[in-house]
Amino acid sequence: MKTHPLKIYDTTLRDGTQGEGISFSVTDKLLIVERLDQFGIDYIEGGFPGSNPRDITFFEEARKLKLRHALVAAFGSTRRAGVAAAKDVQLQVLLEAGTPVVTIVGKTWLLHVTEILRTTAEENLAMIEDSVRHLVAAGREVVYDAEHFFDGYKDDPEYALRTLAAAARGGAANLTMCDTNGGTLVEDLREIVARAVKEFGGERVGVHCHNDSGLGVAVSLAGVAAGASLVQGTMNGFGERTGNANLTTILPNLFLKMGREAACRPNLPQLRELSHYIDELANQRPDPKAPFIGASAFAHKGGLHANAAQKVARSYEHITPAAVGNHTRVLVSDLAGRSSIVMKARELGFHVDEHSPAVKNVLEELKRLEFEGYEFEAADASLKLLLARWLQKHTPAFELEGYRVIVECRGPEASAVAEATVKVKVKGKSMHTVAECIGPVSALDKALRLALERAYPAIKDTALSDYKVRILDSKRGANSRARVLIETSDGEDIWGTVGLSDNIIEASWEALRDAFEYKLLREEERGDAGNRKPDTA
């Protein structure tokens, strides 16, 4: 079958924001548009200008952006029943958004036409055709989103195809079939898309899928295999209910497995970074299990497996991790032998000789710490610091002289507040700071930052992104121990650190200390690496 170059249509900023807990400010949305444009996404759906003032402001600002490739789309619906397209207020608002592309959604399913729109089958077809024609006449490229297409098709295939034909007659550049409820199975979708491709030509057909059956990616790929040439989806699968089809999974499959082409294909190695950027702005924690780009996507545990993966990466990895900007990770656990430690050390950037006594010592130290209850699988940064101390005699950027944390409740109606005092030696100078916060760990974090920021401004870029405590059963006495895992981010990278103590504040301190220490170690390494290339694609 002849294949067309694909068009990638991102709806993170419209359908994605329907997701629970996802919201973007106008500034966030503009930053995301620029980033998606740099990545090479073809269409960026910015929002629904008819729905709220925030989206109207967004479109005003988006017009000023100098995009090099992407076309921004405004989203809305067909004209109302019984109203001329030229008189329809919502279509007017869509044109005022001033985007090169307008996407309008219309009804496919007769059930919706009669029960929800309360109009006739014929009027619905006229609504689709008139609306598209009106927008095309105003110079817009129109993408027609056929809502509930697959359910509608199962109910009445001929009518469903007539709705697409109406949009085609109106001049729509693309007819996108939407699996709005996300319930369509792969084979059914493939068959229905193939029918539409036969009727209208693959270059004019698109798919928009949801993940309600856990098949969002699978049905999107099936749509492409059946001949569709435009794929809609969202970054990180944001979207209502279980989310939209996830572009961060769709794209590597299309390019690496199906051998397809699209404008963003050369930028695939930046996919992971793009995904993190979007999570950061959405205030979401990156999913470690995300296919291709998750932290665990190429993580290997256990000596034998890790060893084999090192020798022949292909033997345990379905793609080269670097193709999507990811990398192989060796998980160090007490099963690990010398070769795993050496591999891990190399992964973290150390030059080590497998037979050096330092490696033997560090392995012993690691086993001792793991026996005590430390766990480094989610704390690569603490592990790196440990290796730096043992293998390179790395000296910490600051030294603890003391800290104090007080939690106080000032009356029956008041909530408790915490105050932390920190004394550390920074570049030979003793710094003494105090900070107040709701929680004791936040107070400690704030006080330590105050102490470090002047000498190390890079600390300002970091923020605590996750904090977890696990109480370990004590096998050795009355006290149980607390293991604290902290995740820190600087917008570019995320790292994990660990602390362990009978005292939860002390365990938190250890993890916090490592979090900052790691950031400073990395800054130092970057400095040593000299001037890096500027960040251009």
The binding site for Zn ion (CB under 5 A) comprises: 15
Distance CA 238, CA 18 (A): 8
Q: Which residues pair with 6 in a beta bridge?
A: 262
By beta-carbon proximity to Zn ion, the closer residue of 105 and 297 is: 105
| Cα dist from 307 to 345, 352, 384, whole Å | 13, 16, 20
By beta-carbon proximity to Zn ion, the closer residue of 15 and 487 is: 15
Distance CA 316, CA 306 (A): 9
DSSP 90-138: HHHHHHHT--SEEEEEEE--HHHHHHTS---HHHHHHHHHHHHHHHHHT
Question: In angstroms, what is the minimal distance from the CB of 180 to Zn ion?
Answer: 6
- Burial status of residue 6 (CB atoms within 10 A of its CB: 0-12, 13-18, 19 or more): buried
Distance CA 275, CA 340 (A): 29
CA atoms within a 13 Å half-sphere pointing along the CA-CB vector of 293: 26
Which residue type occupies 234? T
By beta-carbon proximity to Zn ion, the closer residue of 148 and 513 is: 148
Question: In angstroms, what is the minimal distance from the CB of 8 to Zn ion?
Answer: 16
Question: In angstroms, what is the minimal distance from the CB of 9 to Zn ion?
Answer: 11
Question: In angstroms, what is the minimal distance from the CB of 92 to Zn ion?
Answer: 24
Distance CA 317, CA 299 (A): 9
Question: In angstroms, what is the minimal distance from the CB of 209 to Zn ion?
Answer: 8
By beta-carbon proximity to Zn ion, the closer residue of 11 and 340 is: 11
Question: In angstroms, what is the minimal distance from the CB of 86 to Zn ion?
Answer: 28
Beta-carbon contacts of residue 446 (< 8 Å; ≥ 6 apart): 420, 435, 436, 437
Chain-centroid distance of CA 497 in Å reads 21
Question: In angstroms, what is the minimal distance from the CB of 178 to Zn ion?
Answer: 6
By beta-carbon proximity to Zn ion, the closer residue of 85 and 205 is: 205
Query: Which has the closest alpha carbon to 99: 14, 207, 202?
Result: 14
By beta-carbon proximity to Zn ion, the closer residue of 15 and 280 is: 15
Which residue type occupies 228? A
DSSP 134-174: HHHHTT-EEEEEEETHHHHHHH-HHHHHHHHHHHHHHT-SE
By beta-carbon proximity to Zn ion, the closer residue of 151 and 375 is: 151
Question: In angstroms, what is the minimal distance from the CB of 103 to Zn ion?
Answer: 11
By beta-carbon proximity to Zn ion, the closer residue of 202 and 237 is: 237
By beta-carbon proximity to Zn ion, the closer residue of 45 and 487 is: 45
How big, in percent rounded to 5, are the helix, strand and coil portions of the chain? Answer: 45, 20, 35
By beta-carbon proximity to Zn ion, the closer residue of 35 and 148 is: 148
Question: In angstroms, what is the minimal distance from the CB of 410 to Zn ion?
Answer: 50
Distance CA 490, CA 473 (A): 34
Question: In angstroms, what is the minimal distance from the CB of 232 to Zn ion?
Answer: 8
By beta-carbon proximity to Zn ion, the closer residue of 15 and 130 is: 15
Query: Which has the closest alpha carbon to 419: 450, 451, 446?
Result: 446
Question: In angstroms, what is the minimal distance from the CB of 490 to Zn ion?
Answer: 33
Question: In angstroms, what is the minimal distance from the CB of 99 to Zn ion?
Answer: 19
Question: In angstroms, what is the minimal distance from the CB of 282 to Zn ion?
Answer: 17
Distance CA 458, CA 396 (A): 16
Comparing every residue's Cβ against Zn ion, the nearest one is 15
Distance CA 24, CA 17 (A): 8
Q: Both tokens of residue 513?
A: 């200390």
Distance CA 394, CA 362 (A): 14
Q: Both tokens of residue 164?
A: 């697409």
Distance CA 267, CA 48 (A): 28
